Amino acid sequence: MQTSSLSARDLDVIWHPYTQMQTAPAPIGIVRGEGALLFDENNNSYIDATSSWWVNIHGHAHPHIAQQLAAQALQLEHCIFAGYTHPPAVNLAERLLPLLPSNQRRVFYSDNGSTAIEVALKMAIQYWDNKGTPKHKILAFHNAYHGDTFGAMSVSGRSVFTRVFDDRLFDVQFIEVPTAENISQIINNITALQPEDIAAFVFEPLLQGSGGMIMYDAAAFEQLLQFCTANDILLIADEVMTGFGRTGKNFAMEYLQTPPDIICLSKGLTGGAMALGVTTSTAAVYEAFLSSDKLKTLFHGHSFTANPLACTAALASLDLFTDPACKANRERIHEKHAVFLEELRKSPIIKHPRLLGTILAFEIVTANADGYTNALADDLHRFFRARRVMLRPLGNTLYILPPYCITDEQLNEVYHSIRELLTTLSPS
């Protein structure tokens, strides 16, 4: 019988992500979840105010998802996806494509957001090679974050996340996020790069998540997308974080007129129940790989491609996502956030308070530079842990990104904990 706590046992054997193991506090042992709450081994409840890394959109241990998974596990848990198929994969593709921009025609499965991006980059580069007009340059935004594998790091902004590996990453042309003031200059800069040599532009539409919850202008962005399309630059929309209602609409690209050629999805895709990645493409992209020449095949795959359990979790999540109650909850959260946003605007130690859909974000004023390495992050983390509210700051950027099932009372607790924080930080 185990006598040590889960937390203590963890410290002997686990290496945690994005964690300096020498200085980080011991992890909290979580043993169960229900709705927007997680419970530790002493049955203390914690409000999951960031959806456990932005994936858990419907709440923890949702009975509908759990029941569908249990039934599928008794029927088919896995099957090789090269030369074979199965109902969950086909059903999911058939249900997912109609929710996306109308030009999307094919679904390619992978394991997570980073691999969805890797697939998209390989599709885009090989697309031009298969057509006999090779192009290899990639366009991306400064401060972008697209994942932690090498291709995904390459198209991410050079930062603390990529620092050690910068000289191992392939070359990418980085541009600023567009505004009404700089869009003309951005287009001039791309023109100077010879757009006929650019294979693709990869972007997080309207919201850069790990870059600091940076929200940018749809109108100027639309001009940039139109320019890229006119110059035969494939558009890769990274909706890994923004997809499935986070920005208010089902997908962030719905705020725009120009559809992408390729879309990457993960995180909320399965409601947080299983790891799954999806890369969708237009018919034109797909057809460029059709040939009697085997060398034009997309040579990419994963052992767990289209895992039936993961696809089943995504189907169950879609049941919940397409229920009108889900949209009503997202609107309710947005309205609650909007009221709290006005309160935050009055604080002298808050800057850039902003809101998009269910995401509320702001920076706390410090003497140091804004960013992921701002020393305030550790203090914020400890503060909210002590109040059993799961808020994981990005440096001095604090954000709320809750499951859609969070109650008004739970949201009020989150807001109250932030008020407490601001009181402790304000000069007496």
Q: Which residues are catalytic?
A: 18, 145, 238, 267
> Residue length, the chain?
428
State both tokens at 18: 């994005």
What residue spans of 194-249 are helical by DSSP H? Answer: 218-230
Distance of alpha carbon 421 from alpha carbon 347, whole angstroms: 12
Residue from 176, 172, 150 nearest 161 by CA: 150
State both tokens at 46: 């914690």
- Residue 256's CB is within 10 A of a number of other CB atoms, namely 20
**Cβ contact 36:401 at 8 Å:** no
**Cβ contact 172:210 at 8 Å:** no
Residue from 400, 254, 407 nearest 329 by CA: 407
Distance of alpha carbon 244 from alpha carbon 41, whole angstroms: 31
30, β-bridge pairs:
40
Element of type H or E holding 47: strand 45-48
Distance of alpha carbon 50 from alpha carbon 310, whole angstroms: 22
Q: Under 8 Å CB-to-CB from 371, ≥6 apart: which residues? A: 160, 212, 395, 396
SS3 311: helix
**Cβ contact 397:363 at 8 Å:** yes
**Ramachandran region of residue 118, left (φ > 0), alpha (ψ -120 to 50) or beta?**
alpha
Strands across the sheet with 359-364, in order? Answer: 350-356, 359-364, 397-400
